[in-house]
Structure formats: structure tokens, C-alpha cells
Amino acid sequence: MQLHQLTAHEMHDLLINKELSSEELNNHIFDRIEAVEDKIKAYLTLTKEGALERARSVDGQIQSGERIGPLAGIPVAVKDNICTKGIRTTAGSKILSNFIPPYNATVVEKLAAAGATIVGKTNLDEFAMGSSTENSAFIATKNPWDTGCVPGGSSGGSAAAVCAGEAALALGSDTGGSIRQPASFCGVVGMKPTYGAVSRYGLIAFASSLDQIGPFARDVTDCALLLGVISGHDPRDSTSAGYKVPDYTTFLNNNVRGLKIGVPEEFMAQGISPEVRAAVERAMSLYESLGAAVEYTTLPHTEYALPTYYIIAPAEASSNLARYDGVRYGFRAAEVADVVDMFMKSRSQGFGPEVKRRIMLGTYALSAGYYDAYYLKALKVRTLIKQDFDRAFEKYDLLLSPTSPTPAFRFGDKVDDPFQMYLSDICTISVNLAGIPGISLPCGFVGQMPVGLQLMGKYFDEGTLLRAAYTFEQNTDYHKEFPKI
């Protein structure tokens, strides 16, 4: 097994045993990027000089006998809608193509404090709006398992980078499934934490009541390590929760005996491919054989999740994206007649088609005469969806479903049909509407393409999700598979 195929915790062991230096490790990752990046196109910006400087600093700590943390010297990729001081941050959009933030996001500060090396900024659907990474203004990231297929979205670059061995770990953001769905498509582990568990300070906003930053990893142990580093209260984020962050690695027990697992019928219904259903049913049987109680349940308002999401998210996006006016920062149209013309041309030329579509949807839903009929009603239905989960968690420790109704689809298959593209997130958006945590992990293959299993948990009960995911992982080998690129 080559270095880039190792997990972060395996890399850490090599570092502390002085079998490998962090500089050697990071140079190997950059060699890997050079070898496969022209096929995968995971990155928008690479930060080799800064990464190697940090790696040498970690090597100095090790040589002087200091005890280093589990992420020190480990190569991490960061989604390009997370601000990095002095490093271009585009959100995948032409309108921010020349934006260099003057500050770091809180999660980036936490990575730095943990000693991690940031190797680059990964590609995404523009402003995180999409399910395939085809909406990026710059490049289309490819799925490492089949470069004719999409990697999922919007965090497709982060998922592909971890899958292809171009980073040991990565950060993404999840507004309606944008970590879990690409994790499923690329056969890696991806987690959306409880809303408020990870600071959103420095995350370029899409829909503020739904967005959440979370980890990508090769296995559940790495996911737990990265989650522990980035979680915690941040006074700079008014939605950040004040809670004591546990050591998530203490939940990594190969034991689900006594756990009660509910399987929402609505997530296994029409639209789920037979092969995906079969893979998820095998996972259900495995959990039963390991001592968990697994049964079908119902979340009756699930049928309203998609329309609810596509009113709330565009409404918040239309408000958040009003700041991109060509005046203060970002792209400005060159030839304009007056200030109004500048606003119009800057926005029409700077935003891509999907972003414009969602701004128009959101502006309409918030407009006079339609606010009550659409936005206010959607907020009420959101409450009903949350209450469905509340009732389910009175009986079950966690819920189980497919992450996505299908494996990764081919480029171009859905790009001209927005509704079919939106259906890619049918299993994930309810989790964001309710604010609960969810994790995707590999549970099988359809042909050569991975299938993701989604586990959903109670508020701030990421530990139970990690325990159940770790147990599944310890009793299967799907996470050990590596694509041939």
C-alpha cells in the first residue's frame, strides 16, 4: 500500500515513530496530485509552499521530543467556500475569482492550531449550489472511480481529493447533502454535524439556517479525529452552540448490541435504485446479526422535504448573495453606463445559471404577496419535518437509509433537468431541515461505483453515529477499496 492510500491515523503513527517525516509525506501527496490531478481536477488552488513550511515545523517538534496531535503534519484539503487568509477563495464562482480573504475561517484556524498542513482549496458547485460539481465556474471535477461520472456535489472536489489520495482528509460544507452525497458517490466517509456544532464563521454563506461544515475521511476513525478538531463553540458565530466537545474517538467501539435502528420507509421508496436498496438491506441485515434491533418506521412529512428545502434555501441565498454587487470586492463588469447598469451587468456576468435560478426563486418566494404563501408556509412545514425526527428518536437511537437514490451518474445526464438534479438530494435534505447530524459511509458497489449508507442521529449525538459507523466498517471491507486512476 502506498503512502497516499493510508489513513490519517496510520500516517500519524509513522510520523511519531519517526519512520517518515511530515515533509516527506506532504511531498508524496503533492507528487500524487501532480500524477493524477489532470484526470481528477479536484483542486482550484494548491498551497505547496505553505504546506511544506508547516510540515517542516511539525518535523522540528517531533525531533525535539514534543508530543504532537493526531492531525499534526497531516495533509488536509479545504473546500473553496471556506475563507483562507491570503489564499484565493472563489466559492467556485466567477464573481469571486479574484477574492483573497483578509482572515481565516474558524475551522482553518483550528486546523492550523492542530498542526495540519493545508495542501489546497478544492472545487465545488458555484456557491455550493449543485449536486454534481458541474456548476463550478472553473472546472468539472471527475469521479476517481470512473472519470466519465460526476463526483457528487457540491463538495465534489473535497470528496474526490480524499478518494484519489490527493489529501488524507478534507473539509466540505453541507446545506442539503453536499458532504454526504459526494462521499457516497466517491466511496469515502463524510459527515454533516449537528447544526451549530461547528462554527460557520468564514464559510461563504449559501443558506445560513442550513449550512454546516464537516469532515471527509478515508475511514470513520479519521472522521472522528477531524470532527473533534473543528467542533466547538465560537463567539464569532451567533448560531454556534455552547457545548462540551467530547473525544469522539472514545465512541469507536465495535459494538452495536442493543442499539435500536429505524429505517424510514419513505427513504426506501420509489426512486431508489434496486441495487442501492439491496446494498442498504444487506447493511440492515449486518446490523441485526451484530445485535442491533432494526425495523421500518415512518417520517410522514418527508414528501414535503424537497419543496420545503427549495423554498427556504433559495430564499436565504437570495438574501446572502445580495452583497455581491461589484462595488466592494469581487468581479465588476467593465463597460457600464451608470451604477445601476454596473450592478446588473456585474451580477448577470458574474453568477452562473444555477445561482441565478436560485436567486430568482428565492426573491420570488420572499416578495410581497408571496411571502406568506411560500416562505412562511415552508418554515411551518420545516417544523413538521423536525417533529417527525423528534418522534422517531423517542423510539430509536439512530435512523438508517441510502445516502443517495443512485450511484454516481454520468456527466451531462441531469445538468439540463434541474428537477432530476434536485432529486439526487432526496435522502439528505431532511437532515439539514431538522438540523440533526448525518454520516455517509461506503456500504457496497454497483458495478465499480460506490454506494453510500446514511446514518442519522439525535442532536449532538455524533458519538452514536460514529459508533454505529465504526462497527459497520470493522465488519466490512468497502472502505479499504481504492480506485485505479
Ordered DSSP codes for 298-338: --TTGGGHHHHHHHHHHHHHHHHGGG-SSSSSS---SS-SS
Asked if residue 291 is part of any domain, the answer here is no
| pLDDT (average), residues 389-402 | 98
* Residue numbers of the domain that contains 159: 3-256
- Asked if residue 462 belongs to a domain, the reply is no
pLDDT at 328: 86
E strands, 137-188, are 169-173
Local structure of 44: helix, strand or coil = strand
Q: Which helix (H) or strand (E) holds 55?
A: helix 48-63
The pairing of strands 449-457 and 438-446 is antiparallel
User: In this structure, is residue 405 part of a structural domain?
Assistant: no
Domain for residue 143, yes or no?
yes
Catalytic residue chosen out of the listed positions 131, 158, 173, 178: 178
Average pLDDT of 398-414? Answer: 95
Residue 1, pLDDT above cutoff 80 = no
In percent, how much of the chain has pLDDT > 70?
Answer: 100
pLDDT tops 80 at residue 418? no
Torsion of CA 87, 92, 96, 101, to 10 degrees: -30
Q: In this predicted model, what pLDDT tens digit does every residue of 281-311 receive, in sequence order?
A: 999 999 999 999 999 999 999 999 999 999 9
Cβ–Cβ contacts within 10 Å for residue 146, how many? 15
Confidence of residue 355 (pLDDT cuts 50, 70, 90): very high
pLDDT band at 270 (very low <50, low <70, confident <90, very high): confident
Dig out the grid coordinates for 367 from the structure.
Answer: 416578495
Q: Residue 264 has what pLDDT? A: 97
| Domain CATH code at residue 23 | 3.90.1300.10
With a cut of 80, say whether residue 6 has pLDDT above it: yes
Query: Tens of pLDDT along 71-130?
Result: 999 999 999 999 999 999 999 999 999 999 999 999 999 999 999 999 999 999 999 999
Predicted confidence at residue 269, as pLDDT, reads: 86
Give the pLDDT confidence score for residue 454 in this predicted structure: 98
Residue 319 maps to a domain:
no
Say whether 79 is catalytic. yes
What is the layout of strands, in order, in the sheet containing 75-79? 43-46, 117-122, 75-79, 169-173, 213-217, 189-192, 438-446, 449-457, 398-402, 260-264, 293-297
Which is more confident, 461 or 420?
461
Please state, in angstroms and as integers, the Cα–Cα distance from residue 428 to each residue in 237, 246, 295, 296, following that order.
Answer: 24, 25, 20, 18
Say how many domains are in the chain.
Answer: 1
pLDDT at 482 over 80: yes
Q: What is the pLDDT of residue 425?
A: 87
Is there a domain that residue 90 lies in? yes
Q: Which of 22, 132, 154, 404 is catalytic?
A: 154
Dump pLDDT digits (tens) for 164-221.
999 999 999 999 999 999 999 999 999 999 999 999 999 999 999 999 999 999 999 9
- Show the CA angle centred on residue 88, arms to residues 83 and 91, nearest 5°: 60
- Average pLDDT on 414-421 reads 77
- Judged by DSSP in three states, 339 sits in helix
pLDDT at 424: 78
Residue 32 lies in a domain: yes
Whether 205 is covered by a domain: the verdict is yes
Task: Report the relative pairing of strands 260-264 and 398-402 from DSSP bridges.
Answer: parallel
So what's the pLDDT on residue 467?
A: 98
Task: Kindly report the number of other CB atoms within 10 A of residue 447's CB atom.
Answer: 8
- Report pLDDT for 422: 74
Predicted local confidence at residue 48, as pLDDT: 98
Q: Is 348 a catalytic residue?
A: no
Give the residue among 454, 469, 449, 476 at the shortest CA–CA distance from 185: 449
The predicted model gives 454-465 an average pLDDT of 98
Render pLDDT for 12-52 as a digit per residue (tens, 0 to 9): 999 999 999 999 999 999 999 999 999 999 999 999 999 99
The continuous run of DSSP H or E covering 128 comes out as none
DSSP code, position 127: G
Beta strands in 111-188, from DSSP E residues, in sequence order: 117-122, 169-173
Res 362: pLDDT = 97
